[in-house]
Structure 1
């Protein structure tokens, strides 16, 4: 688990900035082509592992926005060159990252990490629902500045093929900004797939259909949560009357617009009892969806407040989970299990299992020491605590692991 921020000593920073961090070899070989979009040398921050082994006369003459000195004596630079040094954690910011700096703070935020499995364009802290298990409780603020930051971030990320997430809060609250981000991503980095997490409620407006059809992003997927096959169950979980109807209409509008759709179900005490019925509902009413993700709960945010209402040991719903997965599978629907440790699952569920937890918030706990399955296992969220721990957590032996791996063949 690697943090997404750390403190530096920062000099010559006079306004908020985004920088792409690159090595000298990358600068010489690719220059600004190391960025996906419109970038100048002023947007590049040279990563210097050890300033003492580089030509001190060369560094100040390079046409760059700044220098990041991991260690060694600081060079003399002019006032227009941003200088970062003395990181609290030298592992946080690495070559290829895109970072955000502010003159009012020593904190450096990593907005994009090269090679990460979880790069995210964060849209807003606002939301029109208040889900009982929300990992990031919404705030009633005007934070449209995220739109411009994300548009600029897209210019500086790597041009390679990968997946970018778009999330919040609820991204569709800033409709024009979201569409502008999707459109820009298509223009400058069409090889990158986009995955938008949305509650789907505002997508019930049919105006989205024509706009998404016109945009026609080739690799855009919408992840929409559905927490029950009845309005009563879904609306209670998201704490918003009428949300079920709006979400269903939103999903149908996405289908009419030819969009790829993933249905997401968070597994908890309220969704488990009717999970088989929800699987039937999805098959009967949404056979056009591309993927169904059945997800373990992240024990942070509002989930901590609602622990008693939400917590159920995964050991106690294995038959129900198995029933839903196999029902969908035999009907040709693509289903996955996310965010659960492998040792609490039936081996027969291994074909549906995915290592899904974002690398920056993923960990293994003490009980995992000596486990033979860590290379297959999703592990735990960093927010994990004892009261969210299944009684089934234990290190898997090689013999036990063989039962899981055989089920994949």
Structure 2
């Protein structure tokens, strides 16, 4: 539906940011690149945020990327651990970490701004500090590191009991990672973390990241003084199997 997407871009508000996700946008590379070139020609005021797993770029794609105004595109790409075995196991693809390293460098060479995205899970909570070290040492093209709480949908819904990490009870794995990344000068943000689940010293990094159409608050939140600044919870958040320490502030 790229023709329809282009119509939507033409009608978008001035200076809007357009999000592209999926599925996987880079499975449609040719049409995606053509769409972006046309969109940037028609609406140079717009910015784009493209979510991709970073697995489908090839050397020949660099030429197409250089046709784009990379200053108006933020590429959101997941990375789950600094250890290839752990990252590959989480994404379910052998060799994914190696391909990701190549394609992050490929994007960086073309001037891309990169948002690295890490979902916190039981599988990687004890490895976040090491990941912070890896990113700050080996990913110079990263513009921001988004550390994200788990959303109970898709893969996570099937594996919630196994993978949900209750950071309201223990935030140490996340705080160590934040300390490293900020100490090395990398902007860091917390997505999908209710404010009361985060120690006060780290709440400044929380982003109200949940869209209003899939956001809810709990009965506990009714009289919370931080409610207007809080991201809240996903509509499909399972309260009985979620954070154990949700307290109105």
TM-score normalised per structure 1? 0.59
Task: Measure, in 2, the Cα distance between the counterparts of 1:317 and 1:178.
Answer: 41
Displacement after TM superposition at 1:308 (Å): 2.4
Evaluate the alpha carbon distance shift between residue 169 and residue 195 of structure 1 in structure 2; reply closer, same or farther with a 3 A threshold: same
Task: Measure, in 2, the Cα distance between the counterparts of 1:240 and 1:326.
Answer: 30
Question: Which 4+ residue blocks in structure 1 deviate beyond 4 angstroms?
Answer: none
Displacement after TM superposition at 1:300 (Å): 1.4
Give the conservation status (yes or no) of the 8 Å contact 2:49–2:75: yes
Any unmatched runs of 5+ in structure 2?
none
Q: Which residue of 1 aligns with 2:171?
A: 318
Q: How does 1:174-213 map to 2 (within 5 A)?
A: 174-203=28-57, 205-213=58-66
Task: Measure, in 2, the Cα distance between the counterparts of 1:242 and 1:387.
Answer: 37
Bigger-Rg structure (1/2): 1
Q: Which residue of 2 aligns with 1:301?
A: 154
**2:17 is equivalent to residue 153 of structure 1:** no
Q: How many residues align?
A: 249
**Aligned with residue 90 of structure 2, among 237, 244, 248:** 237
Give the conservation status (yes or no) of the 8 Å contact 1:183–1:217: no
Q: Deviations over 1:246-287 (max 9, x none)?
A: 111111100001100010000111121100000011011012
Any unmatched runs of 5+ in structure 1?
1-145, 397-409
Give the conservation status (yes or no) of the 8 Å contact 2:145–2:188: yes
Tell me which protein shows more helix as a share of its residues: 2
**2:173 is equivalent to residue 354 of structure 1:** no
Q: Which residue of 1 aligns with 2:24?
A: 170
TM-score normalised per structure 2? 0.96
What secondary structure sits across from 1:356 in the alignment? coil
CA RMSD of superposed structures (Å): 1.3
What secondary structure sits across from 1:165 in the alignment? strand
Task: Measure, in 2, the Cα distance between the counterparts of 1:394 and 1:280.
Answer: 32
Task: Measure, in 1, the Cα distance between the counterparts of 2:228 and 2:179.
Answer: 25
**2:149 is equivalent to residue 269 of structure 1:** no
Displacement after TM superposition at 1:244 (Å): 0.8
Q: Which residue of 2 aligns with 1:89?
A: none
What secondary structure sits across from 2:248 in the alignment? coil
Task: Measure, in 2, the Cα distance between the counterparts of 1:388 and 1:180.
Answer: 44
**Aligned with residue 232 of structure 2, among 366, 372, 379:** 379
Give the conservation status (yes or no) of the 8 Å contact 1:262–1:290: yes
Q: How does 1:112-123 map to 2 (within 5 A)?
A: none
Q: Which residue of 1 aligns with 2:107?
A: 254
Give the conservation status (yes or no) of the 8 Å contact 2:169–2:245: no
Q: Deviations over 1:117-157 (max 9, x none)?
A: xxxxxxxxxxxxxxxxxxxxxxxxxxxxx223212322333
